[in-house]
Amino acid sequence: MDSKIKMNTIDDNHPQTHNHTVKKPVWYYASQKYAVPSTRKAVIQLLDTIVPYFVLWALMIITVKKQYPYWITLVLGIIAGGLLVRIFVLFHDCVHYSFLASRRANRLIGFFCGFLACTPYYDWQWAHGQHHASAGDLDRRGYGSVWMMTLDEYRNANWFMKLRYRLYRNPFVLFGIGPEIFFLVLNRFPNRGSGNRALRGVLVTDILLVIILVIAIYLLGFWNLVSIVAPVWIVSTSIGVWVFYIQHQFPGVYWARHAEWNVMTVALRGCSYYKLPKFLQWFTANIGIHNVHHLHSAIPNYNLQKCFDETPQMQVLKSISLSDSLSAYRLKLWDEKNLTLVTFSAV
């Protein structure tokens, strides 16, 4: 038996970009039992993530002040960068109001975790809501996603557009300097259409970041601060963008024009199950189980694996291993005729 419901939005106050009414099967509703926040699990995640993150920062400051060999600071920074990826996923859960039962608690913790990741809470919440409402829709690309052209669009583009696209999709740009620009520069400005609340949130976040930056430079010195921040930031942003990329651009992915676009198909076939080694799955807080997340955005990260394992209907796509994913960066264009991602050589 099927029922009809409308797509969930992250926040009741969000402007909806899409309002499809879709049929969802019984097993979908049965899986909603996993969308129950656990205060105990949430607190444990905060303690095993935030506390060691600040401890690592304290240790890095000590190594720099005492002029220990820089490789020690670098190793500590790489680990801290991994923890910052995990912090961002906790922030992401708070954006969906799934981390804790209390909306107020989600906002407070989300704002704090977003601040650590230089990401304003309300503005990113709005943009991420647009992403969930348009993922996999070829006619509504551009909402919180990696730029992707179709094969025909690329063939018909002028030389300048082709150059821009090739530069954008270059791994050094897409996973190197691009994430730095996005988090450090673009996040300092609100998204168009995100509203006054998002604008205020961006201003508060930016002001607090400037205050912390000035204090840190005064206490540590500019270059000492750079030597600490650089490894943390490069590792966290590059890994974060890579994981987001592989969640929606992989062999076998689903994309469709708006008329054929289906929210259930997007969740089950348009989002990957990125099966990482356990320690990497911990650092990414299960966000690689992205098909379940897009199907049920209210399920907290700590319940995603259990929901996937106990719901066979969600296991329609072959999982992507770490080794499998490393070749996915070569897929640059969507071939609408054959419904598959292809490399530039297909041109």
The CA–CA distances, whole Å, from 251 to 50, 168, 270, 277 equal 35, 20, 10, 20
Of 231, 296, 240, 305, nearest in space to 267 by CA? 296
What pLDDT score does 25 carry? 85
**In whole angstroms, what is the distance from residue 292 CA to residue 269 CA?**
11
Tell me the pTM. 0.91
DSSP string for residues in 72-120:
HHHHHHHHHHHHHHHHHHHHHHHHTT-SSS-HHHHHHHHHHHHHHTT--
**Angle, CA of 265, 273 and 123, to the nearest 5°:** 75
Q: Assess whether pLDDT exceeds 50 at residue 329.
A: yes
pLDDT of residue 21: 54
What does pLDDT average to over the chain? 91
Q: What value does the mean pLDDT take over residues 167-181?
A: 94
- What is the pLDDT confidence band of residue 16, given thresholds at 50, 70 and 90? very low
pLDDT in tens, 41-71: 999 999 999 999 999 999 999 999 999 999 9
User: What is the phi/psi pair of residue 112, to 5°?
Assistant: -65, -50
Question: Considering the chain, what percentage of its residues have pLDDT values greater than 70?
Answer: 94
Q: Kindly state the helix (H) or strand (E) to which residue 23 belongs, with its residue range.
A: strand 21-24
Predicted confidence (pLDDT) per residue in 285-324, tens digit: 999 999 999 999 999 999 999 999 999 988 888 899 998 8
